[in-house]
Structure 1
Amino acid sequence: MDKVTAVPALADGRRPRADRARQVADLLRGEITHGRFGGGRLPLEAALAREFGTSRNTVRDALDLLRDEGLIERCPGVGTTVSGERYPHGLHRLLGLAEVLHEHGEVTNEVRAMSLIEPPPAVSGRLGLAAGESVVYVERLRRLNGLPLSLDLTYLVRDVGEPLFDADLEHNDIFVLLERIAGQQLGLAELSLEAVNADAHTAAVLGAPRGAALLMIERLAHLADGRPVDLEFIRFRGDRLTMRGHLRRSLNDSMEKTWP
């Protein structure tokens, strides 16, 4: 039997260079967000080409992709450097933004709107409210170390939402305040995550280019007793946040509760 020589996937000349560049970009993006390049400077193109078993042209194309995402900068005579930190946001626990990012700096909240409203049926239905029952609506621009990070639109059931009119929303997560008001912890949350493009108004508020990629989260939080109390629509700047979590596959998966 003839000996078969393994060919590194990245060096497979039969694949389009754009495919190989995308593959290198994915691997480099992960290493950047996990802090491999602590000094902020990436290795030279030749070193990266050796590491990934591909050509310098492929590496150059991969770096161009990351530059277009705003993750790196490429300057003649200086090299390739990380242009902005992406902060990790865990998906395995129900936490407020300040709780998630406390190791990375100070989260502050600018309350752009807050009022008692009669919500649309779509909101009433998710919160389990009767038609015509009011909710508290809160809109916040959230910053980390002064940099815009997310725009949050929140609908709260009235009995736990109204006390927030007298609370310090600038320096506190709503989750923490809700637990104090309700006298019990939050329990589970139903969550969906998708990518959306920033409209002109949202882009201006977040200080992002129009059409920039945003991470959009819809989250319905329940108290420990199962009652839904907080429906949020959160738009995160995609260039400043990385979603991370731990997923476990078990034999009991088919028996676990799934949410629509």
Structure 2
Amino acid sequence: MSASMPIPASDRVVEGPTPKHAQLREILRRAVEQELPPGSPIPSERELADRYHVSRLTVRSAIGKLVEEGLLSRVRGKGTFTATRRMELQLYLMSFTDDMRRRGLTPTTEVLRTSTEVPPKPNANALGIEDGAPAHRLMRLRRADGVPLAVERGWYHAGKMPGLLELDLSQSLYAQLADAYNVRPDHAWQTVWAESADRETARLLGMRTGSPLLVFRRVSSSQGEPVEDMTSWYRGDHYQVTMQLDRNSPDFGHHPQYGGTR
């Protein structure tokens, strides 16, 4: 899609019953899906407006829809690029570090905030601690190959893991729990929902406020005892979830009711 590339007749935007922004959106969609590899830049709004003889407002509308769909991604100060293919979010109990390494990516972690304080009642209930008892609070930014993918905000059982915040929390937390406390999460309940990025989360992930996120709340146990209540905000343009379904009736009787975290 270079500026000098000839435009096939079938790829022109014309007057007619179909709005021009919808025509242009489909032209760009075909290019993204059939011609351009992930991470490729697309022409500027001005170039596209000149090439297809439409207004910049029409171009902006067409691109905005493809960004919402996750086919394009805007990078502040750099332009608009074809989005990387979405990764499947793992639905099994594995650390982010191990998951990224399994995909051939290099994981890094930035510790944003730590404290030991009394958690809100829903988190205290999830961890099975008494009212007024403290828990460790941890907030981290997770990257893969330098790209910010997720913000984690979690609570950890202080009684079972004293001194947790003194560990190197920029490394795999699960590996350190095993080494320092012989705690190995082996069971979890996980809840998934969609959410729009608030200002802080959007800034950390390099997205616009209001961008779509996949949110996972996971309460993990080790040998039947809850140790972790973590909520992770994943970029909706980088992840998708696939599940296998059957006709068997699920057993809802033992699903814990933890309540919200925000």
SS class of match (2:89) = strand
Aligned residue-pair number = 209
**2:131 aligned residue:** 131
Q: Distance in 2 between matches of 1:251 and 1:202?
A: 38
Structure 2 residue 172 is the aligned partner of structure 1 residue 176: no
**2:260 aligned residue:** none
For each residue in 1:144-171, what CA deviation from the matched residue of structure 2 results, as whole angstroms up to 9, or x when unmatched? 1111111111100013443333322213
Distance change in 2, residues 1:38/1:221 (3 Å): farther
Q: Distance in 2 between matches of 1:200 and 1:129?
A: 31
- After the TM superposition, which of the residue ranges 191-200 and 158-167 deviates more from structure 2? 158-167
Verify the 8 A CA contact 2:89 2:241 in the aligned structure 1. yes
Q: In the TM superposition, what is the alpha-carbon distance from 1:257 to its structure 2 partner?
A: 4.2
Structure 2 residue 223 is the aligned partner of structure 1 residue 232: no
Q: In the TM superposition, what is the alpha-carbon distance from 1:187 to its structure 2 partner?
A: 1.9
Q: Distance in 1 between matches of 2:64 and 2:107?
A: 32
**2:192 aligned residue:** 193
Verify the 8 A CA contact 1:107 1:143 in the aligned structure 2. yes
Give the structure-2-normalised TM-score: 0.66
**1:98 aligned residue:** 97
Q: 1:142-221, aligned counterparts within 5 Å?
A: 142-172=142-172, 174-221=173-220
Amino acid at match of 1:211: G
For each residue in 1:201-232, what CA deviation from the matched residue of structure 2 results, as whole angstroms up to 9, or x when unmatched? 22112211011111111111111x21111001
Q: Distance in 1 between matches of 2:150 and 2:113?
A: 15
The structure with more helix, counted as a fraction of residues? 1
Q: In the TM superposition, what is the alpha-carbon distance from 1:113 to its structure 2 partner?
A: 0.9
Q: Distance in 2 between matches of 1:37 and 1:97?
A: 32
**1:86 aligned residue:** 86
- After the TM superposition, which of the residue ranges 100-109 and 160-169 deviates more from structure 2? 160-169
Verify the 8 A CA contact 2:188 2:218 in the aligned structure 1. yes
Q: In the TM superposition, what is the alpha-carbon distance from 1:124 to its structure 2 partner?
A: 1.1
Verify the 8 A CA contact 1:107 1:171 in the aligned structure 2. no
- CA-based RMSD: 3.7
Verify the 8 A CA contact 2:88 2:242 in the aligned structure 1. no
Amino acid at match of 1:207: G
Q: In the TM superposition, what is the alpha-carbon distance from 1:114 to its structure 2 partner?
A: 1.0
Amino acid at match of 2:96: L
Distance change in 2, residues 1:109/1:64 (3 Å): closer
Structure 1: 5+ residue stretches without partners: 1-16, 42-60, 74-80
**2:241 aligned residue:** 244
Percent of matched pairs sharing the same residue: 23
Q: Distance in 2 between matches of 1:229 and 1:210?
A: 32
**2:45 aligned residue:** none
Give the structure-1-normalised TM-score: 0.66
- After the TM superposition, which of the residue ranges 62-71 and 109-118 deviates more from structure 2? 62-71
For each residue in 1:8-66, what CA deviation from the matched residue of structure 2 results, as whole angstroms up to 9, or x when unmatched? xxxxxxxxx99xx9xxx9xx9xxx7xxx989559xxxxxxxxxxxxxxxxxxx999743
Structure 2: 5+ residue stretches without partners: 1-17, 40-60, 74-80, 258-262
SS class of match (1:151) = strand
Q: Distance in 2 between matches of 1:206 and 1:161?
A: 29
Q: In the TM superposition, what is the alpha-carbon distance from 1:133 to its structure 2 partner?
A: 1.0
- After the TM superposition, which of the residue ranges 108-117 and 244-253 deviates more from structure 2? 244-253
**1:121 aligned residue:** 121
**2:66 aligned residue:** 66
Q: Distance in 2 between matches of 1:237 and 1:62?
A: 21
Structure 2 residue 104 is the aligned partner of structure 1 residue 107: no
